[in-house]
Amino acid sequence: MKKVINVVGMSCGHCVKAVHDALSNKVGVSSVEVDLEKNIAEVDFDETKVTLKELKNEIEELGFGVTDK
Ligand SMILES: [Cu+2]
Protein backbone atom coordinates (compact mmCIF):
# COMPACT_ATOMS: atom_id res chain seq x y z
CA MET A 1 0.00 0.00 0.00
CA LYS A 2 1.32 3.42 -0.91
CA LYS A 3 0.82 6.32 1.48
CA VAL A 4 1.96 9.91 1.60
CA ILE A 5 3.03 11.23 4.99
CA ASN A 6 3.45 14.95 5.54
CA VAL A 7 6.68 15.59 7.39
CA VAL A 8 7.16 18.83 9.29
CA GLY A 9 10.58 20.26 10.05
CA MET A 10 12.87 18.89 7.35
CA SER A 11 15.36 21.55 6.32
CA CYS A 12 18.17 19.93 4.37
CA GLY A 13 19.51 16.83 2.72
CA HIS A 14 20.55 15.33 6.03
CA CYS A 15 16.97 15.46 7.26
CA VAL A 16 15.80 13.83 4.04
CA LYS A 17 18.38 11.07 4.41
CA ALA A 18 17.51 10.52 8.08
CA VAL A 19 13.81 10.12 7.28
CA HIS A 20 14.52 8.02 4.21
CA ASP A 21 16.88 5.66 6.03
CA ALA A 22 14.69 5.28 9.11
CA LEU A 23 11.66 4.34 7.01
CA SER A 24 13.65 2.12 4.66
CA ASN A 25 14.97 0.11 7.60
CA LYS A 26 11.48 -0.86 8.77
CA VAL A 27 10.43 -4.43 8.00
CA GLY A 28 7.71 -4.43 5.37
CA VAL A 29 8.73 -1.20 3.67
CA SER A 30 9.56 -1.73 0.02
CA SER A 31 10.22 1.81 -1.18
CA VAL A 32 10.57 5.31 0.22
CA GLU A 33 10.73 8.65 -1.57
CA VAL A 34 11.25 11.78 0.47
CA ASP A 35 10.64 15.19 -1.08
CA LEU A 36 12.16 18.12 0.78
CA GLU A 37 10.30 20.84 -1.13
CA LYS A 38 6.91 19.22 -0.74
CA ASN A 39 7.69 18.06 2.81
CA ILE A 40 6.42 14.59 2.14
CA ALA A 41 7.52 11.01 2.45
CA GLU A 42 5.91 8.61 0.01
CA VAL A 43 6.11 5.12 1.43
CA ASP A 44 5.22 1.84 -0.19
CA PHE A 45 4.72 -0.81 2.49
CA ASP A 46 3.13 -4.13 3.31
CA GLU A 47 0.38 -3.29 5.79
CA THR A 48 0.43 -6.82 7.20
CA LYS A 49 3.99 -6.22 8.41
CA VAL A 50 4.05 -2.58 9.44
CA THR A 51 1.38 0.04 10.12
CA LEU A 52 1.18 3.64 9.00
CA LYS A 53 1.19 4.61 12.67
CA GLU A 54 4.50 2.82 13.24
CA LEU A 55 5.99 4.63 10.27
CA LYS A 56 4.80 7.97 11.62
CA ASN A 57 6.20 7.14 15.06
CA GLU A 58 9.55 6.40 13.45
CA ILE A 59 9.60 9.86 11.89
CA GLU A 60 8.57 11.50 15.17
CA GLU A 61 11.36 9.69 17.01
CA LEU A 62 13.80 11.51 14.72
CA GLY A 63 12.38 14.80 15.96
CA PHE A 64 10.15 15.70 13.02
CA GLY A 65 6.43 16.28 13.04
CA VAL A 66 3.85 14.41 11.00
CA THR A 67 0.44 15.56 9.82
CA ASP A 68 -2.30 13.69 8.03
CA LYS A 69 -3.02 14.34 4.40
CU1 LIG B 1 18.56 18.85 7.85
Residues with CB under 5 A from ligand 1 (ion): 11-12, 14-15
What are the beta bridge partners of residue 40?
6, 35
Q: Is the pTM of this model over 0.85?
A: yes
Output the CA 48–ligand 1 centroid distance in Å: 31
pLDDT of residue 57: 97
Angstrom distances, CA of residue 16 to CA of 19, 40, 49, 64? 5, 10, 24, 11
Residue range 3-53, pLDDT digits in tens: 999 999 999 999 999 999 999 999 999 999 999 999 999 999 999 999 999
Kindly give the pairing relationship between strand 65-67 and strand 2-8: antiparallel
pLDDT-derived band at 69 (thresholds 50, 70, 90) equals low
CA of 5 to the centre of ligand 1 (A): 18
The pLDDT value given to residue 31: 98
Q: SS3 for 62?
A: coil
User: Mind listing the domains of the chain with CATH numbers?
Assistant: 2-67 (3.30.70.100)
Centre of ligand 1 from the C-alpha of residue 26, in Å: 21
Q: Which residues make Cβ contacts (< 8 Å) with residue 27, sequence separation at least 6?
A: 49, 50
